Amino acid sequence: MKRRSFLGALGVGIASASTGGCGSTARLAALPEKLGNHGRFAGMPEDCRVVLDGSNDRLFGRIAFAALRREMDYAQRTGTTVGEANYLAISGGGENGAFGAGLLTGWTQLGTRPVFKGVTGVSTGALSAPFAFLGPDYDADLARVYTDSSAADIMTSRGLLVGLLGDSLYDSAPLRRMIRGFVTPALLAAIAREYSEKGRLLFVATTNLDVPVGVLWNMGSIAASGHARAAELFTEILLASASIPGILPPVMFDIEMGDKRYQEMHVDGGTVAQVVIYPPSLGGDDMLSDGTATPGLVEALMRRPRRLFVIRNARPGADPETVPRDTMKIADRAIATLIQSQGLSDLYQLYVIAQRDGIEYNVAWIPQSFTDRLNGPFDQAYMRSLFAVGRDTMLSGSVWTGVPPGFNAIPVHSMSPANRRGGTGPS
């Protein structure tokens, strides 16, 4: 979801204040620092998640090469070839997720949409990611989420007193019901097949607020686990990734360590990064460290073309406005600017990773020509209009750019004397 500021939402909460019970919900202690990231979910595979602080890079390498081995085995069984690898990263953006949804459906209509080797989603991108991963057969479901939903399908006000003395201003029960409605046995089974048989990967990012650190959840591994609570955990992860701190309640995950139980508090993945593909700390030394990567696997990885597509569900810059000399307005504008800048920085980080690892980089964002404004949270007319913009921009063939917004790929040191005489260089 779009990470609105707590102060901005507080203004809405004051306008709809009501009395009621209050008080924070008790919780178990967080996992002690000395235990690191070694807590486990009972019955879930050990590779069900990767912590994005560099400590799990070798685990991510094992996941990647194990998936490549399954992909190669599938190709051998079916008499096909292991072709290029296409990756999709979908950012946060709340209502603006309608842009990415429209883009994907337009891509289907264009007839050039690839089968993605890997898909990652953050916040609203997490809600899109399962549909994007499973492909065109799920376009209708994806479209419904972003063109038929309204604020009532996402959240309900708790009232000012309950909100301020509890853990959020709004209740996310409607969003949980929506997610649980599309996390069906059929959807889980389809994701599990793609993961187990073809080696395709689906990741969703949340933020462990206790540490704090970003976490990538291996949704294919969870779907294929056969665990009785797989659908519940899948749902809670998607909900956590979309839970804006202070606006929607955090999602608590129970962790077991021996005979002791702990809890982790997870919130919107965009708290750490608006969009992610894999940790920048991951390098060749991590990938080759434990012998999982045989020479044949390494060769197969290095010789295949790889392409990254990034959907940024935002415009590259905010609209200018006259900010009043008001504490709430100033703080709200500053926080919105910080979030906007963070999202842009994330695009640059992915660009650096792609350049380092020899991956073709493609990014799309909401065009500046889209000037509609929200009339309220999850304004259905706004989302439908933006969905159409995403679809039409894709169909026009002008959606992808090879560098992040504002980046000039021509090096300064390559300027010719003619350029310098023309005054095009820096002064």
Tell me which residues are annotated as active site. Answer: 123, 268
Cα–Cα nearest to 292, from 40, 57, 116, 88: 57
Task: Give me the phi and psi of 329, to 5 degrees please.
Answer: -65, -40
Alpha-carbon gap, residue 45 to 224, rounded angstroms? 9
* Amino acid in the structure at residue 25: T
Do residues 269 and 151 make contact, with C-beta atoms less than 8 angstroms apart?
A: no
Spell out the residues 6+ positions from residue 334 whose beta carbon is closer than 8 angstroms to its own. Answer: none
Spatial CB neighbours of 384, under 8 Å, sequence gap ≥ 6:
98, 147
- Please report which residue ranges of 248-294 form alpha helices under DSSP H: 284-287
Q: Which residue from 256, 269, 187, 251 is spatially nearest to 224, judged by alpha carbons?
A: 187
CA dist 132 and 130 (Å) reads 5
Q: For 284, phi and psi rounded to 5 degrees?
A: -60, -30
* Other beta carbons within 10 Å of 368: 10
Distance CA 168, CA 244 (A): 9
DSSP code for 132: H
Q: Are 379 and 363 in contact (CB under 8 A)?
A: no
CA angle, residues 43, 44, 46, in degrees to nearest 5: 120
CB of 172 within 8 A of CB of 166? no
The pair of structure tokens assigned to 400 is 């992808």
